[in-house]
Amino acid sequence: MTNQTTTHWRSLRELENDPDLVEIASREFKDIAPETLEGVDRRRFLQLLGASAALATASGCSWEEEQILSFSSRPEHFIPGATKSFATAMDLFGAAKGLRVTTFDGRPIKVEGNPLHPSSNGATDVHAQAAILEFYDPERSRQVLREGAPSSWDAFHEALSTDFDPGRGDEGAGIAVIARASGSPTEARLRAALLERFPRATWVVYEPAGDENHVRGNELAFGRSLRARYDFRRARRVLALDADFLRDHADCVRHSAELGEGRRPESGAMNRVYAVESRFTSVGATADHRLPLRSSDVPAFVELLEDRLLGERGLRLGAPQPGPHARSLAQNTTLADFVEAAAADLLEHRGESLIVVGKSQAPEVHARVARMLQALGCVDRTVSWLPVAETTHSDSRALRALCARAAAGDVETLLVLGGNPVYDAPADADVASALERAATTVHLGLTVDETARACQWHLPLAHFLESWSDATAFDGTYSVVQPTILPLHGGRNAAQVLAGLLGEEADALGLVRATFEQRFGAAQWNRALHDGLVADSAQKSVVPALRDEVEYRIEELSADTGLELDFYACPKLIDGRYANNGWLQELPDFTTKLTWDNALMVGPATAAELGVEHEEVVELTALGVTLELPVYVAPGQARGSVAVALGYGRTAAGVVGGSTTEAVTSVGVDVRQLRRTAGMWILRGARVRGTGRKYALATTSEHHMIDGAGMEAREARLDRLVPTATAAEFAEHPDFAQHVVHHPPLESLWKEVELPDGHRWGMSIDLSACDGCNACVIACQAENNIPVVGKEQVLKGREMHWIRMDLYYSGDPDAPEAVTQPVACQQCEHAPCEQVCPVAATVHTQEGLNDMVYNRCVGTRYCSNNCPFKVRRFNFFNNTAFLDEPQNELLQLAQNPEVTVRSRGVMEKCTFCVQRIQKTKIAAKNAQRPIEDGEIQSACQQACPPQAIVFGDLADPTSRVAQLHASPRSYALLGELNIRPRNQYLARVTNPNPALVATSVDHGHHSSH
């Protein structure tokens, strides 16, 4: 069948006419040996067929065998179905946030703040709320891996026993550890033990979004490592220099709570916040005055400020005259006025003023500000200096040095204790190559991330909800990390791994107790467990002396530095560690309302100059690297600067955040290649070129350029929706908000139903205090089993969050003002939704709640149309179907068993956390006592750091909520529709500097009586 003239052949053997091949090729079934083709005869075949059919049927006859174990007797204090709370703490950036975790039948379902803890005061941020989803992430690693293959802890310790042999000759010079910032005293103790045994070992702390500039600046100023702890309670004048201290700070929850207190006009003396920043942050939105300024111009601003403080009041600062760049900036009258007013105000409030510098600014700027703070008499009043523990001090230069050493082959054993440096280290710290060169590489982490893939060993890290540990609050308060469940996947924490390597017993509780008893003695343990902390264990602040002789050189900018690119830690994903957390990915960013992406933030004027449009894909070139990413035209982004969030473009995050092994496209763009240890936050000389291509960004609200008619109406409507007054206006007309909208007397179309005496649940939200931290949104999501719908659905406008954090910009798009307003169901007494539902699926309770009856709902969506707030959320698909997939069964445990998981085709919305109301009512009834005010807290209220949300019983005139409703500031949103919402807002009052009012945007014109 083959011949010599063949021009096509299948192999060389065929070309050579190999006889075997000829034989094979001539067969009908080439892949099957001829003898197997003989097979069985017809009779035998039918026998087999019959037998196998019979056996197949028989296999269905027995139950699948599984073993369950029941309690033969109920453990003491265990009531099935009753929730229990445990105090614990979560360590982020080396600072603990005290938490209280609710467990249901032994599994954690909800995280709340620990009211006793100084860094949370009972509130939380989004990350603590999202910890539940992180904990139950089905993609968390479940076993020790060696070169990607399953292994065991014992095998790991055996394999590394030579590396950590005390008799090792080089005193551990070949050992290096890259750790995340950690405030755990136990980890610090074991670190010390390790370094004692191996004195020449290297221990590098690296946080991609760490505050190393701040610590180094204070080293410059004071000659020692210090960190500032701000007291916003005392600070009546705050100047934030490129500092988002409300989000991007280890102690942000406390900041938010304390600042919020002074934002309320009833507090007596309102504080006043000035913000100078390149990107619009939550501080900028909260501030009374905001000056958009490139981050690289902030040093010049500091020079001008220093000059001004020096000039008039003779604060003895050894500062030189402002440089030429600063002087040219001062030509801008807006800026000059701003400096003048802010400086005068700070001086006037000496000892009550505060200047906060952001982590993006150079150490010299921090040093100069430290000096100004000293001169303004702020030390130990609005700012206190705390010594920095080595385990919390991130040092990217040390990381770079370590990588260089490793690349030279000087590192044999490289341990990555938490963290993901392969993904998040600056480009000049090549961790990947370092890991390649080292003989033994180990990664400890929650998931098999980019670093785990680059290491020989991967060890599953125990989540803080499942492992004993300890932590230190930002102020140094000792906090216990108490597990709520046994480790789900046999993970261990960093301290256990260290103990194991040191040959100690790797018992987490034992390690923590040893540390604890060393410091506090055994007697206090139970108390500490209960409270989650040891009271009065905070660090003592120091009053350091300035190093007079130092001259802080601020790098002089030339005029043509080009476009500035700012990196910022994503308020949701931080440095990418939460990239696989659907709640956080889908959370609308406070200032951009962007979900599921990062983008290049470009101000409207800059966008026009660059000729790029919103959602246009651009080529961003810097340092010889070109990246493509979409543009977000962001109001308030300083002219001449663009910004991009860190934490996106993960390739080994998982099915949510992106994974190459799962073939899931990365969410957003990784900008790591543009980061250098020398310019972790600011990069000058970037170039942006439009490509003309479009990329859809999923935002939950359009607030950049829409059509003219729409923008005009939005701006005109703003004063009706979010009435704002200055403190002076408020003093004159405290009830200004009630006189913004004039309407005829409101009459009901129906005969009004008299509700029986009893509870009248209501809520009050203070728009002066709210700074848009989004904690309520995620708390609500966690409490109420709100599904994540994904980018495509968000693009279609089908996000499910029950709370919508509205944000409105007004004024000049390049220097706008912003107001925020969290809007959930307003629980109208005359609910428009109830009237139009044809099947009576949304009805009123006797306590005045607007209830959804999911079983009854057929999904006409008429209620949503008739809701003037558009806060109803419809299940367009079966949004919870993924829970039934076998690989996601673990996520079922994250659902709150007290709240229905909704099916496809039904409407849902805020219920005022009716499950919490019922629970407390039942408990009170059983105890035959009245419900106390504040006993029922909605999930959003509980999470809110500035306590802007208050829930309670309006029928009780002494309740907080009733008193707030009676406040002259209280107004009903769209009250003119006669819907009588049970939620009322406290109108926003700002405290602008009279000296700047003429130049700032008019706060609206409130009709007087």
Query: Under the criterion CB under 8 A, does residue 858 sit at the interface with another protein?
Result: yes
> CA 402, CA 202: separation in Å to the nearest integer?
8
Residue 314 binds another protein (CB under 8 A): no
Regarding 876 and contact with another protein (CB under 8 A), the answer is yes
Q: Does 904 bind another protein (CB under 8 A)?
A: yes
At 65, phi and psi to the nearest 5? -80, 125
Report the residue from 48, 51, 408, 839 that binds another protein according to the rule CB under 8 A: 839
Among 32, 155, 625, 840, binds another protein (CB under 8 A): 840
The two most distant CA atoms of the chain are separated, in Å, by: 111
Smaller CB distance to another protein: residue 535 or 706? 706
Q: How far is the CB of 741 from another protein (least distance, A)?
A: 9
Q: Which is nearer to another protein, 157 or 861 (CB)?
A: 861
Rule CB under 8 A: is residue 713 a binding residue for another protein? yes
Nearer to another protein, 733 or 798 (CB): 798
Residue 836 near another protein by CB under 8 A: yes
Is the Cβ of residue 777 or residue 837 nearer to another protein in the bound state?
Answer: 837
Which listed residue (490, 859, 897, 975) binds another protein by CB under 8 A? 859
- Work out whether 1007 is an interface residue with another protein (CB under 8 A): no
673 DSSP assignment: G
Q: Are strands 202-205 and 175-179 parallel, antiparallel or unpaired?
A: parallel
Among 552, 874, 951, 985, interactor with another protein by CB under 8 A: 874
In sequence order, what are the beta bridge partners of 104? 83, 107
**Are residues 607 and 695 in contact, defined by beta-carbon separation less than 8 angstroms?**
no
Question: Which residues of 122-250 form beta strands (DSSP E)?
Answer: 145-146, 149-150, 175-179, 202-205, 226-230, 237-241
| 200 burial via Cβ count (<10 Å: 0-12, 13-18, 19+) | exposed
Q: Assess 770 for contact with another protein (CB under 8 A).
A: no
The residues near 755 (Cβ < 8 Å, ≥ 6 apart) are 846, 847, 848
Residue 868 found at the interface with another protein (CB under 8 A): yes
Q: State how far the alpha carbon of 437 is from the alpha carbons of 147, 204, 433, 539, in Å.
A: 15, 18, 6, 41
Contact between 793 and another protein by CB under 8 A: the answer reads yes
Rule CB under 8 A: is residue 811 a binding residue for another protein?
no
Applying CB under 8 A, which part among 403-411, 759-767, 861-869, 985-993 lies near another protein?
861-869
Cβ–Cβ < 8 Å for 981, 973: yes
Task: Kindly write out the interface string for residues 928-967 of this chain, putting x where it contacts another protein by CB under 8 A and - elsewhere.
Answer: ----------------------------------------
Do residues 368 and 306 lie in contact, with contact meaning Cβ atoms separated by under 8 Å? yes
Based on the shown chain and the rule CB under 8 A, indicate whether residue 882 belongs to the binding site for another protein.
no
**CB of residue 822 to another protein, shortest distance in Å:** 11
Cβ 248 to another protein shortest distance, Å: 24
Contacts with another protein in 91-120 (CB under 8 A)?
Answer: none
Q: Which is nearer to another protein, 654 or 772 (CB)?
A: 772
Is residue 791 a contact residue for another protein (CB under 8 A)?
no
Residue 403: its H or E element: helix 396-407
Whole-number Å distance between alpha carbons of 271 and 421: 40
Q: Is 169 in the site for another protein (CB under 8 A)?
A: no
Q: Which of 832, 946, 981, 1004 binds another protein (CB under 8 A)?
A: 832
Give me the sign of the Cα torsion angle 935, 900, 142, 179.
negative
Q: Based on the shown chain and the rule CB under 8 A, indicate whether residue 708 belongs to the binding site for another protein.
A: yes
Helix (H) or strand (E) holding 729: helix 727-732
Of 291 and 948, which has the nearer Cβ to another protein? 948
716 binds another protein (CB under 8 A): yes
Task: Among 143, 433, 524, 878, indicate the residue that binds another protein (CB under 8 A).
Answer: 878
Q: Which residues, 6+ apart, have CB-to-CB distance to 783 below 8 Å?
A: 110, 896, 899, 913, 939
Give first-to-last CA distance, the chain, whole Å: 105
Stretch that binds another protein, among 547-555, 566-574, 621-629, 799-807 (CB under 8 A): 799-807
Residues in contact with another protein, shown as a per-residue x/- string from 974 to 993 under the rule CB under 8 A: x--x----------------
- The answer to whether residue 799 forms part of the interface with another protein (CB under 8 A) is yes
Selected binder of another protein within 133, 473, 674, 807 (CB under 8 A): 807
Cβ proximity to another protein, 559 vs 716, nearer residue? 716
* Residue 865 makes contact with another protein by CB under 8 A: yes
Which ranges in 439-533 belong to alpha helices (H)?
450-454, 494-501, 508-520, 525-531
The residue from 214, 368, 393, 873 that contacts another protein (CB under 8 A) is 873
856 binding another protein? (CB under 8 A): yes
* Cα–Cα distance for residue pair 610/714, rounded to 1 Å: 27
Rg (CA), the chain: 31
Q: CA geometry: angle at 468 spanning 506 and 654, to 5°?
A: 95
Site for another protein in 434-473 (CB under 8 A): none
Print burial letters for 31-46: b (CB count within 10 Å at least 16), e (below 16): eeeeeeeeeeeeeeee
901 contributes a contact to another protein by CB under 8 A: no
- Residue 375 or 833: which CB sits closer to another protein? 833
Rounded Cα distance between 558 and 336, Å, is: 20
Closer residue to another protein, CB minimum distance, 167 or 838: 838
- Separation in Å, CA 267 to CA 259, 288, 289, 768: 11, 16, 20, 11
Which of 380, 702, 732, 889 is close enough to bind another protein by CB under 8 A?
Answer: 702
Cα–Cα nearest to 158, from 586, 457, 579: 457
Least distance CB 954 / another protein (angstroms): 24
Is residue 971 at the binding interface for another protein, with CB under 8 A as the rule? no
| 768 and 943 Cβ atoms separated by less than 8 Å | no
Compute CA 984 distance to the chain's CA centroid, rounded to the nearest angstrom: 28
Interface with another protein includes 753 (CB under 8 A)? no
Which positions touch another protein (CB under 8 A)? Answer: 701-703, 706-710, 713-714, 716-717, 720-721, 793, 796-799, 804, 806-808, 821, 823, 832, 835-840, 856-862, 864-866, 868-870, 873-878, 903-907, 974, 977
